[in-house]
Structure 1
Amino acid sequence: MTEPNDRFPGWDWDDPEGLDTHLDAFSAEVATCTKLEARPGALPRDHAELAELGITGVEFAAFRTDHPEGLGTDLATLRSPDAATEPGTLYRVDGDRWFTQLDIARPLPFADASIDWVYAEHLIEHVTMPVAVGWLREARRILRPGGVLRLTTPDLARYLVGYATGDGFLAKHRRRLTVLGFGPPMPARPAFLVNQIFRHYGHQWIYDLDELRHVLTLAGFGADQIRHCAYRQGLRSDVADLDTAFRTDETVYVEADR
């Protein structure tokens, strides 16, 4: 059992289902901004309409993308002190970024060949494989010729090597999550630290490089279009620069071009 912790009352790492309420509350705290402005009319759909707004690509699972020409999207509602997002509407976030609320389990509301790049950091592991393949097919459909999809996700191989060799990775990962404040310190048991990538945070399927190649191939990308990348290295530096530094210890990076 997790030791009692005054900052996180009732938090028990050994009960993943019981933590859902705590993790939902944490997510709600993150999904906030200072100002939301709804843009009248329908969502921009094709390349010309998106370009008119300065949008060249989409970052999934991002309430506020760091890309100045990006459209941030997420399933969850984004809230300001006096407004909340609704699906089907485009919003200006804090005066300098675009956001729309959408569900990757449904068809994307964009025309074929309308987007130059797609980015998703640590998203694909949160959905089942059929949903992931359907979403990747949609991402491929909306990419323009020469466009790039960049995916990052926890690397199963890194966890299993850390477990098998005792190379210190699992202990480092545990310390990192503690510093970031994702609950009280996790148990130090190696088996727990492997299990948590399967059982916590709403994870549904964990990938290694070959598994990512598998789902990308099912989505229609050719084997010669799929590349293993390094942190902040890729076909487009502006897209690769969206990688966040605090996840490099556990992440596999892959790109597929159109």
Structure 2
Amino acid sequence: MKQTEPNAPTERFPGWDWDDPDTLATRLDAFSELVATCDQLEARPGALPHDHTDFRELGITGIEFAAFRTAHPEGLGTDLATLRSPVAATEPGTLYRVDGDRWFTRLDISEPLPFADASVDWVYAEHLIEHVTLPVAVGWLREARRVLRPGGVLRLTTPDLARYLVGYATGDGFLAKHRRRLTTLGFGPPMPDRPAFLVNQIFRHFGHQWIYDLDELRHVLTLAGFTPEQIRHCAYRQGLRPDVADLDTAFRTDETIYVEADR
């Protein structure tokens, strides 16, 4: 396939080289810092909520990981990165009110969650699991299962390896569509249109550590303690809890696999 847009520096992105993902990782870190902002941060005195009663007193029913500002009105947003307002910055171990209407706390998913067993009704993570190694992913999923109440649901979304490989093998237009979508995000100049590059970027760019298909997700969920009968392949914004499934964002649908596991 002929490359229609050169992979060369531009005035907007000087020195950008898509073929050097390790160097681009530093640019991604800087970009993340730019978007991890809000207008107002208010620290809540005292400890983090611990058990189901604590969460319910705050109006929180579940946790959304990798979210500075969860879209769920009854959610607790969490991320490893620092969230900043013009006059404050988040610290681990503290609960914050973000812009007056959402909750947030900093959490590292490679560590045990600071919550009691059976403390929340749902857990959601969009395009997070691919950013950690397999052992970290399994450990985090065990923790997610532990904090879920009976009848609760875990919903995961992640890039689908099968979709990329089918697109590469058949030339069905998926890779070109995906490239156009990423270009509209404005993070860097247009990607090269080489098919091998567009498959490699899911492994080597954006801090990705492990890429999944449906069987691989079933594997890690089973290792985390869910039974095969509890694991379901879902569609975009379709799931056990509509309020949780509605957290799926539309711009990722071309590449995403959706899976739920109930407790």
Normalised to the residue count of structure 2, the TM-score between the two structures is: 0.97
Identity of aligned residues (%): 86
- Structure 1 residue 2 displacement after superposition: 2.2
Matched residues in 2 for 1:208 and 1:232: separation? 19
Aligned to 1:34: 39
Aligned to 1:73: 78
Amino acid paired to 2:45: P
Amino acid paired to 1:162: G
Structure 2 gaps, min length 5: 1-5
1:185-207 per-residue CA deviation (whole Å, 9 max, x = no partner) reads 00000000000000000000000
Instruction: Check whether the contact 1:11–1:22 (CA below 8 A) recurs between aligned residues.
Output: no
Structure 1 gaps, min length 5: none
Q: Secondary structure at the match of 1:150?
A: strand
Q: Does 1:9 align with 2:14?
A: yes
Moved more, 2-11 or 242-251: 2-11
Matched residues in 2 for 1:200 and 1:22: separation? 11
Q: Does 1:205 align with 2:210?
A: yes
Aligned to 2:135: 130
Matched residues in 1 for 2:260 and 2:133: separation? 20
Matched residues in 1 for 2:123 and 2:10: separation? 40
Amino acid paired to 2:169: A
Aligned residues: 258
Matched residues in 2 for 1:173 and 1:5: separation? 22
> In the alignment, which of 107, 117, 121 is matched to residue 122 of structure 2?
117
1:6-41 per-residue CA deviation (whole Å, 9 max, x = no partner) reads 111111100000112211111011100000000001
Aligned to 2:3: none
Aligned to 2:97: 92
> In the alignment, which of 183, 187, 200 is matched to residue 182 of structure 1?
187
- Structure 1 residue 129 displacement after superposition: 0.3
1:62-88 per-residue CA deviation (whole Å, 9 max, x = no partner) reads 000000000000000000000000000
Aligned to 2:159: 154
Runs (4+) of structure 1 exceeding 4 A deviation are none
Normalised to the residue count of structure 1, the TM-score between the two structures is: 0.99
Q: Does 1:252 align with 2:262?
A: no
Q: Please, what is the CA RMSD of the aligned residues?
A: 0.6
Structure with the bigger RCO (C-alpha within 8 Å, sep 6+) is: 2
Aligned to 1:228: 233
Matched residues in 2 for 1:233 and 1:257: separation? 14
Matched residues in 2 for 1:228 and 1:182: separation? 30
